[in-house]
Amino acid sequence: MTIQTNLTGLDLRAEIDRLRKERNAVILAHYYQKPEIQDLADFVGDSLDLSRKAQATDADVIAFCGVRFMAETAKILSPDKIVVLPDMAAGCSLEDSCPPEQFAEFRAQHPDHIALTYINCSTEVKALSDIIVTSSSAEQILAQIDPAQKIIFGPDRNLGGYLARKTGRDMLLWPGVCIVHEAFSETELLKLRTQHPDAPIAAHPECPAVILDHADYVGSTRGILEFARTVTSDTLIVATEPHIIHQMQKAMPDKTFIGAPGADGNCNCNICPYMALNTMEKLYLALRDLTPRVEIEEGLRLQAKKSLDAMLTLASGTVGKGDLGPRP
Ligand code: 13P
Ligand code: SF4
């Protein structure tokens, strides 16, 4: 059989469908993926739901359309599956902000603290952590930790700061940020709000406090989507990566969803450059060649799995509830 290297003229959607069946593969996609990828995925979700799907699937292959830490999470939870990520360079600025050696040192300086760690981190940092959280499970998990227990929260200082303000828990924060959510402009957001005075603002907790302070709802991608279904206003301002608007528009075609602006007044600077690396072409090649594959050394995998298992146990029941909810 000759392997086609020139993809011009190929019906990628049909070919991906054919390979999905041939390989007994499941395509999992995050809400920040391009609309064409979201539309052909078997499941589109937030980090917590994607982890659960990866753990529960009986497919032989997981084609993960998201970023590397998400595909690694799938491999940690489903080690017998082949996990492919269309572009292995799809990283995350939060992961980059937290090198494992420095995190290990930080932990060693605070031996009486437990490490509650956002899932947006490397497998090595998961292995150094006690409990992983996602934005949809963080508050529910935090509520189950003894109030006297001291906590390190990393790598997202914005999510950590939001949780600290909302729950009153004093946590030591690692100074990492998401470059995408940091790029929203308060000045431009306020200008937009004057143009749409009745439109609520929904924001992801990775946004800095100056943005969250204007939000009517703060939550994970799934939480924001659910909030959009409940608002009575016909317009909603969405302060997270704008590709999620695709799902909103599909579910609510009569409503208007406006991506919150960056300093240039539009939402294009808030497209996640890592998520954008995945394309239909690369997904097709990943399914065809079963590469790039996620591989994790077994000792490291087992160590990282402990903190992920802790999350899945403590977050059980977080289905459409337990999200961060209305801003305090
Ligand atoms: P969610 O868990 O809310 O989908 O967030 C993932 C993420 O990377 C947001 O930037
Ligand atoms: Fe990472 Fe931010 Fe992209 Fe999410 S949006 S994957 S946190 S860089």
Q: Could you read off the pLDDT of 112-160 as tens digits, one per residue?
A: 999 999 999 999 999 999 999 999 999 999 999 999 999 999 999 999 9
| Bridge partner residues of 148 (DSSP) | none
Binding-site residue ranges = 30, 47, 92, 118-120, 135, 178, 204-206, 221, 272
At 2 the pLDDT is 46
Residue 323 pLDDT exceeds 80 = no
Distance 179 CA to ligand 2 centre (A): 7
Residue 77 pLDDT exceeds 60 = yes
Q: What angle do CA 204, 254, 276 make, to 5 degrees?
A: 40
Q: Indicate which residue's Cα is closest to atom 7 of ligand 2.
A: 178
Q: Indicate which residue's Cα is closest to atom 2 of ligand 1.
A: 47
Domains of the chain, earliest start first: 12-92+275-296 (3.40.50.10800), 94-177+307-315 (3.40.50.10800), 186-259 (3.40.50.10800)
Atom of ligand 2 nearest to the CA of 272: 3
At 265 the pLDDT is 87
In the chain, helix, strand, coil percent, each to 5? 45, 15, 40
Mutation pick for ligand 2 pocket among 182, 275, 277 (CB with most ligand atoms within 8 Å): 275
Q: What is the mean pLDDT of residues 168-181?
A: 97
Atom of ligand 2 nearest to the CA of 241: 5
At 82 the pLDDT is 98
Q: What is the mean pLDDT of residues 187-195?
A: 97
In this structure, are residues 221 and 204 in contact, taking their beta carbons and an 8 Å threshold? yes
Mutation pick for ligand 1 pocket among 49, 50, 120 (CB with most ligand atoms within 8 Å): 120
Q: Three-state DSSP class for 116?
A: strand
Q: Percent of the chain having pLDDT more than 70?
A: 95
Distance 272 CA to ligand 2 centre (A): 6
| Of 90-94, 257-261, 268-272, the least confident | 268-272
Q: What angle do CA 245, 196, 256 make, to 5 degrees?
A: 30
**Residue 46 binned pLDDT confidence (cut-offs 50, 70, 90):** very high
Q: What is the mean pLDDT of residues 84-109?
A: 98
Q: Percent of the chain having pLDDT more than 90?
A: 91
pLDDT digits (tens, 9 = 90+) for 11-40: 999 999 999 999 999 999 999 999 999 999
Question: Which residue shows structure tokens 């939000």?
Answer: 215
**Residue 328 binned pLDDT confidence (cut-offs 50, 70, 90):** very low
Asked if residue 67 has its Cβ within 6 Å of ligand 2, the reply is yes
Distance 103 CA to ligand 2 centre (A): 19
Distance 202 CA to ligand 1 centre (A): 14
At 314 the pLDDT is 97
Average model confidence (pLDDT) across the chain: 94
Asked if residue 244 has its Cβ within 6 Å of ligand 2, the reply is no
